[in-house]
Amino acid sequence: MNKRFLVFLSSRKSWTLPYIIFSAIFVVIPLFLIVVYAFTDDNGHLTLANFQKFFEHPEAINTFVYSIGIAIITTLVCLLLGYPAAWILSNSKLNRSKTMVVLFILPMWVNILVRTLATVALFDFFSIPLGEGALIFGMVYNFVPFMIYPIYNTLQKMDHSYIEAAQDLGANPLQVFLKAVLPLSMPGVMSGIMMVFMPTISTFAIAELLTMNNIKLFGTTIQENINNSMWNYGAALSLIMLLLIAATSLFSTDDKDNSNEGGGLW
């Protein structure tokens, strides 16, 4: 037994051990704690009161639904703006410059709060009122690079003979797009949607800054509760968001191995 353990330790497999221990402490147990806190009250007694409170609170539910709505609109606008951009960037007939691609991804590396404040400054500059429109524009501005990059990646790896085949077989440009290009780029679209929808649904500070506290999103509600020491209720709200995230990721199952094969940006 002892010997077998030593064999394990001397093999490469044991190199996962530090990470397994680390993940257990900092990923698995904390998630478990969210569940524990969500189903208990201040004294540690098992209860459903936290969820009851959510479902009996029209304000909380409204914020939740509203946040999903904003996230869906933001994701759609990002897709509509980002897809053509990704397509142009990946098309060697229309764009040959790699620098152009870098320019589009670059804003991802600027602090998100700085970017948001810059957007607020821009609205101020043109005296555009800070409301719903500003919120959606600001979110789109923040997240559109996350839509462009994965779509660009899949479009670039796409086998162009499919397009030629479709053209040879008499498809018009619209048919080529709908029947060949779009289905082939679906993995990129899906991961783009994930990369935009997830952060927009869980964002908090950005909405506050963009609307001068006029519009509250679900993330803000969670943060306020945690800050006001309502940990159990906050945990219950987090669990609801977690379930939403899990549902979304199940909805867009594509094999992750494929999309990560590229090895990142550089």
Partner 1 sequence: MVKKIFAQAYLWILLLLLYSPIVIIVIYSFTEAKVLGNWTGFSTKLYTSLFTTGTHHSLMNALINTITIALLAATASTLLGSVAAIGIFNLKSRSRKAISFVNSIPVLNGDIITGISLFLLFVSLGITQGYTTVVLAHITFCTPYVVLSVLPRLKQMNPNIYEAALDLGATPMQALWKVIVPEIRPGMISGFMLALTLSIDDFAVTVFTIGNQGLETLSTYIYADARKGGLTPELRPLSAIIFVVVLALLIVINYRAGKAKKK
Residue ranges in 125-154 that form contacts with partner 1 under rule CB under 8 A: 125, 141, 144-145
Is the Cβ of residue 31 or residue 48 nearer to partner 1 in the bound state? 31
CA-to-CA separations, 52 to 60, 105, 220, in angstroms, rounded: 11, 43, 20
Cα–Cα distance, 14 to 6 (Å, whole number):
10
The stretch among 1-9, 45-53, 119-127, 155-163 that binds partner 1 (CB under 8 A) is: 119-127
Residues 172-231 that bind partner 1 (CB under 8 A): 194, 198-199, 201-205, 208-209, 219, 222-223, 226, 231
Q: Smallest Cα–Cα separation from 253: which of 202, 186, 207?
A: 186
User: Please, which residues bridge with residue 40 across strands?
Assistant: 46
Site membership for partner 1, residue 263 (CB under 8 A)? yes
Is residue 207 a contact partner of residue 220, using CB atoms and an 8 Å limit? yes
At 40, is the secondary structure helix, strand, or coil? Answer: strand
Task: Note whether 236 binds partner 1 by CB under 8 A.
Answer: no
Choosing from 93, 174, 247, 253, the residue that interacts with partner 1 (CB under 8 A) is 93
Rounded CA-CA distance 143/82 in Å is: 10
Amino acid at 246: A
115 interacts with partner 1 by CB under 8 A: yes
Structure tokens at 232: 């159990």
Among 3, 15, 161, 168, binds partner 1 (CB under 8 A): 15
Instruction: Pick one of 34, 135, 190, 196: the residue that binds partner 1 (CB under 8 A).
Output: 34
